Amino acid sequence: MKATKKKTKKERLNMTKKKTEKLIDKKGLRLDGRKLDALRPVKMEVGILPNADGSAYLEQGKNKILAGVYGPKEAHPRHIAKQDRAVIQCRYHMAPFSVQERKSPAPSRRDVELSKVIRESLEPAVFLEYYPKTSIQVYIEVLQADGGTRCAGITTAALALADAGIPMRDLVVACAAGKADGKLIVDLDDTEDKVGDADVPVAFMPNLNAITLLQMDGSLSVEEFESAIGMALDGCKQLYALQKEALKSKYVVAEEAEEE
Ligand code: UDP
């Protein structure tokens, strides 16, 4: 039997680059037919895992993300507990079948990094001081990935926190903007992320008008960077409207049923 050598990330990237010379066509449309400022189709649902305290599911283009939340409950191991507030323990994990080549189920360095930045993007929204010495656990499972999973993970996790009834100052919603073929674009898919010139993921608390995550991969001029943030925030506002709809469709319908 012929053994096939696993391709390195660089080789995979070069293959994608060869296959995809242009990311934006003459009409100004992207490979999937989207306009530069258009989000991928989005579907959100809240409260779908009966065994978690709170949960949510999101599809954004080909991304499929599930989040489950537990707590607040007594922090374990005890040394992670804070005397004056709750801690958030966050795990972002990509399933082996979420990407084209089977991914090891063990947490990668990237999973560990993303777990940290996602936790930091959620913390400002939660009234952690209400629950000293406890822990709130947030599990994000990427079932299928197609670029922008940290943002989609944040949007989903915030819904799951709200579904768990955890008091929050605001929801958190996230969206990336970036640059491909010299044009600024929003909500980058996997190819645009890998072949494009820049990717700027932004997480945002819409009512408090505060950014809780800002990263950049690639290079942009100062003007482009500012415009990219504006586009990402517009994307966040559209996603926030869908988050509210998802929460309403669970809770308003449930309230109406109780009244009947
Ligand atoms: N990806 C992959 N294999 C991996 C990690 C990532 O194919 O081991 C893909 C996946 O589609 C992901 C995209 O690369 O969404 C971009 O990854 P990045 O690290 O930029 O994070 P993301 O954009 O998902 O937040």
CATH number of the structural domain spanning residue 237: 3.30.230.70
pTM: 0.93
Residue 257 belongs to some domain of the structure: no
For residue 153, which atom of ligand 1 is closest to its CA? 25
Residue 21 belongs to some domain of the structure: no
Residue 230 belongs to some domain of the structure: yes
Residue 27 belongs to some domain of the structure: no
Buried/exposed 185-199: b ≥16 CB within 10 Å, e otherwise: bbbbbbbbbbbbbbb
For residue 63, which atom of ligand 1 is closest to its CA? 15
Strand ranges (E), the chain: 42-46, 54-60, 63-74, 87-94, 134-144, 173-180, 183-186, 198-205, 210-214, 217-218
Contact 205/195 with Cβ under 8 angstroms?
A: no
> Which residues approach ligand 1 with their CB closer than 6 A?
99-100, 103, 110, 145-150, 190, 193
pLDDT, one tens digit per residue, over 9-28 is 555 555 555 555 699 999 99
Residue 192 belongs to some domain of the structure: yes
What pLDDT does 79 receive? 95
What pLDDT does 48 receive? 96
Pocket test for ligand 1, best of 193, 199, 200, 217 (most atoms within 8 A of CB): 193
Ligand 1 mean position, distance from CA 145 (Å): 7
Q: Is 135 helix (H, G, I), strand (E, B) or coil?
A: strand
What would the two tokens of residue 172 be? 């958190």
Instruction: Tell me how long the chain is.
Output: 260
Residues of the chain with pLDDT under 70: 1-21
Ligand 1 mean position, distance from CA 14 (Å): 15
Q: Which range of residues forms the domain containing residue 220? A: 32-248
Domain count for the chain, please give it: 1
Residue 8 belongs to some domain of the structure: no
Angle between helices 149-163 and 109-122 (to 10 degrees): 50
What pLDDT does 4 receive? 47
pLDDT, one tens digit per residue, over 61-84 is 999 999 999 999 999 999 999 999
Residue 2 belongs to some domain of the structure: no
